[in-house]
Amino acid sequence: MAFSIERRDPGYLLFTIERSEKRNAINYDVMEGLSQALEKASEPEIKALVITGSGESAFCSGGDLSVFHLLHTKEDAYPMLSKMSNILYSLLTLPIPTIALMNGPAVGGGCELAVACDFRLARKGVKAGFVQGKQAITTGWGGGSILVEKFPSPFAMKLLMEADLETAEYLFKTGFINHLFDGDSLQQCGDYLEKMLSNDLEVLKSYKRIWINKWKQAGLRERIEEEVKNCAILWESDAHHQYVKNFIKKNTR
Ligand SMILES: CC[C@@H](C(=O)O)C(=O)SCCNC(=O)CCNC(=O)[C@H](O)C(C)(C)COP(=O)(O)OP(=O)(O)OC[C@H]1O[C@@H](n2cnc3c(N)ncnc32)[C@H](O)[C@@H]1OP(=O)(O)O
């Protein structure tokens, strides 16, 4: 199974990508799992959704290049990008708090998954980055638009345009990461959530609605759609296909 979903104390749903051998890359099974988790997270007694990756080698390494390299044209790429952008928008607008528990690196689409969550907790020493620019594409799941909406634009643009991996410590200083931890990630996550989840669910939902209304007024959904279309156009470039070919060759030697 590419994922697991379980209820944990104090009252949250835990979604884990179970593909550590692929550094928790997102394939269609993981997308299906995320959709199921989003549905389950709407059950009345769930107060938060936590997303993590199995093991310590990665939170999420983004889109599974060993699957998505089969997508050549913009017409091939668009449905995959659009499907995942819809999932990330549902995650973004889930009416309860959401947490990216970054037990390891978050790369490319892994960072898009993280930024769609309300809070990001990261293990000290891990790296994260929107590296898509180095692959001759942009963020294609809506993560660029979400980043720009949530953080000051010059900071967001620097991350996107440099397309580098950054340390968790730098990302903590800049506010992208909300909490750094050592040791057991689930224990740390439980501690982080304890105060928040001791409050009534309706209070949490009311605050989240304030955030969601702001995004709706800012036309974020439409901006994400534009981002997806632009990425699909870049996807069919020779430069992108060459990057993916090289990645697959290097990692299957
Ligand atoms: C498609 C959507 C797009 C978006 O819209 O955002 C993207 O997400 S593009 C994908 C961006 N992601 C990457 O480029 C990440 C590539 N991976 C890495 O940089 C590293 O793997 C890592 C995450 C930093 C971990 O490094 P390390 O611990 O040294 O592991 P390896 O590199 O040796 O990988 C082990 C194993 O996992 C496979 N792997 C890793 N990432 C992916 C991936 N994204 N897709 C498919 N497979 C991946 C890698 O090929 C190795 O496999 P084997 O060689 O078979 O062992």
3-state SS, one letter per residue, for 80-114: HHHHHHHHHHHHHCCCCCEEEEECCCEECHHHHHH
ipTM: 0.97
- Would the CB of 105 count as within 6 Å of ligand 1? yes
- Would the CB of 166 count as within 6 Å of ligand 1? no
Nearest to 138 by CA among 228, 73, 70: 228
Ligand 1 center from residue 168 Cα (angstroms): 19
- Would the CB of 144 count as within 6 Å of ligand 1? no
Ligand 1 center from residue 117 Cα (angstroms): 21
**Identity of the residue numbered 164:** D
Q: Which residue's C-alpha comes closest to atom 50 of ligand 1?
A: 251
Per-residue model confidence (pLDDT) at position 173: 98
**C-alpha dihedral (179, 185, 189, 191), degrees to nearest 10:** -90
pTM of the prediction? Answer: 0.98
Residue to mutate (ligand 1; options 19, 23, 247; most atoms within 8 A of CB) = 23
Q: Could you tell me the mean pLDDT of each successive run of 10 residues in the chain, 253 residues long?
A: 95 97 98 98 95 96 96 97 98 98 98 98 98 98 98 97 98 98 97 96 98 98 98 97 90 50
- Would the CB of 251 count as within 6 Å of ligand 1? yes
Nearest to 121 by CA among 56, 182, 212, 41: 182
Per-residue model confidence (pLDDT) at position 253: 41
